[in-house]
Amino acid sequence: MAIALTGAGGFVGRHLSLSLTGRVGDVVSLARGVDPMPILRESNVMVHLAARVHIMNDASNDPLSAFREANVHATERLARQAAAAGVRRFVFVSSVKVNGEETRLGHPYKEIDTPSPQDAYGLSKWEAEQVLSNVALETGMEVVVVRPPLIYGPGVKANFALLMRAVQRGLPIPLGAIENARSFIGLDNFVDFIYCCMTHPAAANETFLVSDGHDVSSAQLVRELAAAAGVKPNLWSVPQWALELGAGMLGKRNAVQRLCGSLQVDISKAQTLLGWTPPVSMEEGLGRAVSKL
């Protein structure tokens, strides 16, 4: 099997490329500014990771247009080129943000739920999914859509990396009173699921939510990170209203809402239809992430 891959230089792409090389055949990266057709003609499967990602404090004058160009129009062009080249299956990495930003505790998102993206990034991913559905209908190329929550692992950056460093250094973290539940997926589990979507016959033209299958509160996440780092968690129990009040004064209310709110996904479809189970426990996955700090 030959695999064409976009986003090979990114956090997920680097790991996916290394994992798949030799396991299923050749993995060839599609680079910007290079005609993709020579590579696509030799490929059975296309995995599309590249995207304009969610950006905090986006400085673009028109973020939605920028997201649409990168995540919708470019995706459609690539998919149509792949179909024309004879690619059998197109795996598209979307986002849980297509479903929304927050769930009620104990009521995880499911694939059958009505999409409710709340920002330009989530909307662009939802529009890309719809475009790909049309391409599949028109060309017969199989399309698989994957909506992950936050992906962590060795080399993770942004807020998750900041949290890991804070835990490792024993800094006080005021999340001890937060009783929420959030889904995450470790890098190894996500790569394994992408492989399943590439190869399983039943994945064709389906959409999947995916996670470690082990939801945790923000306080539990801190405890598990501390255990992985071999340190004692320095959790302070601060009421949520006080956190939100302080964050509002600093212009960080949205960040606190993400830490305090729930965001769960139901992976039963992946388990039932594909027979997939996460091969790596969250404990082990966090250990691998912390070891690379």
CA-based radius of gyration for the chain: 19
Residues in contact with 276: Cβ distance below 8 Å, sequence separation at least 6, in sequence order: 192, 193, 196, 270
To the query of whether residue 152 is one of the catalytic residues in this protein, the response is: no
Which residue among 109, 121, 152, 195 is the active-site one? 121
Q: Catalytic residue positions? A: 121
